[in-house]
Structure 1
Amino acid sequence: MDAPTSRDRVDPVRLEPVDQALIDRLWDFGDAESSAERFRAAADAAGAAGTPHEQAVMTTQLARALGLQELAEEATDVLDGVAAIFDGAGHDEVPAEVRARVAIERGRLLAADDRPTQAVPEFTLAVREAAQAGSAFLVLDALHMLALNDAGHEEEWAAEGIDLLEGRRDPRTLRWGIALHHNLGWVKHDGGRAGAALVEFERAVEIADRYGSSEQQQVARWSVARCLRTLGRTDEALELQLALAGLRPDDPYVQAEIEALTAGRPTIDA
């Protein structure tokens, strides 16, 4: 029998990525503590099953859940331990997806600690590693984080992400368009370009309606209404905020906008 050639071997760098739908099912961003418990259990189960790639990916999500609980030191320790899952394998033998996810989560921890200049190199590294892994999803995650943290280059990173979405078909990947357009809208709004911002916010609504969650749809519409207020189109803004209040009466951001839009308006008794 002929010895296997390099063509016969599976490239560890380009292993099939862990199913994002599985990761999504384990996440509850409103309950980071429970999410951490689920990811810890998933990582342990993957380790017991002898699937280090999945174990490492679940471990990165455990770190993210810890970070959301403001347990940054523990989260960093968890990320530092990912390499050990591969029994001392060299850098190039660790799947690129794992390297990308580790870099993204390190960057998120630094950004949450108000250290964007240190976070940006992690996110740029993540873009390269995700591209090597062939994961458009992770490239977009890293680009959207760069657009949030790389001051002065927000529009460039957002535009790169939006360009990358062209021709994509996967609904979960296309969902990144919501964050990219939404965040770009706020950059333009806060830069005094409310008209251009409205275009971005409305595009975020379109994508949210097709691919997003109900929470993303609510936030996207709220931003449209807020931008309309800046543009002086207060009647339209109020109509939209009242519609949002009908869907979620306890949304404090909606209530604050309604108060701002109705302050000083004449009442029946006036």
Structure 2
Amino acid sequence: MVDRLEQAELDAIWNFDDPVASADRFAAAAAEPDRPELVRAELETQRARALGLLRRFDEADALLDLLIPATDTLAVRVLLERGRLRNSAGRTAEATALFEEALSAARRQGETFLAVDAAHMLAISDPERSEHWTAEGLSDLASSHDQRTLRWAVALHNNRGWRLFEEGTPVSALAEFEAAEEAAERYGTPEQRFAAAWTVARCLRELGRIQEARRIQQRLAAEQPEDEAVAAELAALTDAAHTIEP
């Protein structure tokens, strides 16, 4: 019997676009009678996360309270989910402190996946130090050989790219977006590969590289003809072609 929660099961249960259904599935999984207590508790941390996405912060906190005292991996998960709740509620200083504690605890436990999760959240909650936290996460990934863990590189580079883009430095942003696309091609899901290509094309448009951007978006349109973001970009590129290219 597996005595800890496997990431593959988490991936199968989670649907971040439907936190209501996700919360119900986590509750049902945690209630299965043949599960070890630790696995039940870890599943409950994810139910708390789903409740947080629904902004049911008090309910989520109360659920995490039931898991205290927690040790080892469970303690890391509780810290992470407490931090996510605080971050979603706009209490970023509290969130950052919790994520820093989670990062240290995950590293002590040798939990690289959770350590990178914490670093990725720190880059969000502590934007002034986002470059530092992204580098910390990538440093942890450098010692990993697990394909699922290495998938974190997609999010780390993508998030850093958007911050640079919003700061008005699209050349630097493009380097991050291209790194995210490379990671998505190697380790990511089809959805991540599609999104990464779209993001690269969006940045190319920002840089005035219209023909390159159009080629990418046309390829994506052929893959998913109903995608609204791709259609919007193709429309913007058509307009841009009249003003940027002769």
Tell me the TM-score normalized by structure 1: 0.83
Give the Å deviation of 1:261.
1.5
The structure 1 residue matched to 2:26, chosen from 39, 54, 72, is: 39
The structure 2 residue matched to 1:95, chosen from 60, 68, 71, is: 71
Mark the CA change 1:265 to 1:199 in structure 2 (over 3 Å): closer, same or farther.
closer
Structure whose alpha-carbon radius of gyration is higher: 1
Structure 1 gap segments, 5+ residues each: 1-15, 84-90
State, as a whole percentage, how many aligned pairs show the same letter: 43
Q: Which residue of 2 aligns with 1:72?
A: 57
Q: Is the 8 A contact 1:17 1:135 kept in 2?
A: no
Q: RMSD of the alignment, in Å?
A: 1.9
The structure 2 residue matched to 1:26, chosen from 2, 13, 22, is: 13
Give me the whole-angstrom Cα distance separating, in 2, the residues matched to 1:120 and 1:234.
39
| Deviation by residue 1:18-61 (Cα, 9 ceiling, x = unmatched) | 2111211111222222211111111112xx33622111100001
Give me the whole-angstrom Cα distance separating, in 1, the residues matched to 2:111 and 2:240.
52
Q: Is the 8 A contact 2:5 2:43 kept in 1?
A: no
The 5-angstrom pairing of residues 74-223 of structure 1 reads 74-83=59-68, 91=69, 94-223=70-199
Q: Which amino acid aligns with 2:202?
A: R
Q: Is the 8 A contact 1:222 1:244 kept in 2?
A: yes
Give me the whole-angstrom Cα distance separating, in 2, the residues matched to 1:184 and 1:141.
14
Q: Larger relative CO (CA 8 A, sep 6+): 1 or 2? A: 1
| Deviation by residue 1:171-204 (Cα, 9 ceiling, x = unmatched) | 0100001001111112222223221211111111
Give the Å deviation of 1:78.
1.2
Give me the whole-angstrom Cα distance separating, in 2, the residues matched to 1:50 and 1:39.
13
Tell me the TM-score normalized by structure 2: 0.91
User: Where do 4+ consecutive residues of structure 1 move more than 3 Å?
Assistant: none
| Deviation by residue 1:40-92 (Cα, 9 ceiling, x = unmatched) | 111112xx336221111000011111222232222122112112xxxxxxx4x
Give me the whole-angstrom Cα distance separating, in 2, the residues matched to 1:237 and 1:111.
34
Number of corresponding residues = 241
Q: Secondary structure at 1:152's aligned position in 2?
A: helix
Q: Which amino acid aligns with 2:17?
A: G
Give the Å deviation of 1:264.
6.1
Structure 2 gap segments, 5+ residues each: none
| Deviation by residue 1:214-239 (Cα, 9 ceiling, x = unmatched) | 11112111110111111110111122
Give me the whole-angstrom Cα distance separating, in 2, the residues matched to 1:32 and 1:111.
17
Give me the whole-angstrom Cα distance separating, in 2, the residues matched to 1:29 and 1:151.
23
